[in-house]
Amino acid sequence: MMRLPNPLKLLFMVGLTLVIWSLDGVSSAIAAPAPAAVVYESPAEAIAIDDTLIDDTLKAIPPGFYGILKTDQLKAKIATEDPLLVDVREPSEFLLGHIPGAVNLPLRSLGDHLADIPRDRPVVLYCSTGYRTGLGVMALHLWGYDNVQGYPPSYQGWLRDTHQ
């Protein structure tokens, strides 16, 4: 079985590729040698350019990319689409409680379980606060999954909204 790079390395490689493409154009980044080092007049100038790249990248994220923002939306999705619920927390956290029907695939080993994540069925990731959810959604999107969403209210939001 082919071993895929860990998500952080993958995110770095994609980010570096995007920076090269945005600075030098797609075709010349592929065909030409690496561009010469850029020298800025001041640190403020370099930061302003980086802020622009970051801002442009964030604005290019399509609506709904991140996921399901309300518990009632998740409940409706569960009732109508039968998504695979993936809890990306550690096993010890999962054992203390989880959304009914969820499977536990910890974020740190997500790449080892790609065969367990379907491409033909909705997949919803969650954790305890939303941070690991976002990392997992991004990593799976980079691995070519277009059927994955996050539930950023996460387990804490589920508990709050279902026990009122």
Note whether 106 and 153 are same-domain residues. Answer: yes
Assigned domain for 64 exists: no
Percent of the chain with pLDDT over 90: 51
Assigned domain for 32 exists: yes
Note whether 55 and 85 are same-domain residues. Answer: no
Concerning whether 127 is annotated as a catalytic residue, the answer is yes
Note whether 102 and 156 are same-domain residues. Answer: yes
Of the two residues 144 and 48, the one the predictor is more confident about is 144
pLDDT band at residue 67 using 50, 70 and 90 as cut-offs: confident
One of 85, 99, 102, 127 is an active-site residue; which one? 127
Domain limits for position 103: 71-162
Note whether 20 and 95 are same-domain residues. Answer: no
Q: Is the pLDDT of residue 97 over 60?
A: yes
Total of domains in the chain: 2
Assigned domain for 65 exists: no
pLDDT of residue 61: 66
User: 């010469």: which residue's tokens?
Assistant: 36
Q: Is the pLDDT of residue 142 over 70?
A: yes
Assigned domain for 42 exists: yes
The three-state (H, E, C) secondary structure of 96-151, written as one string: CCCCCCCEECCHHHHHHHHHHCCCCCCEEEECCCCHHHHHHHHHHHHCCCCCEEEC
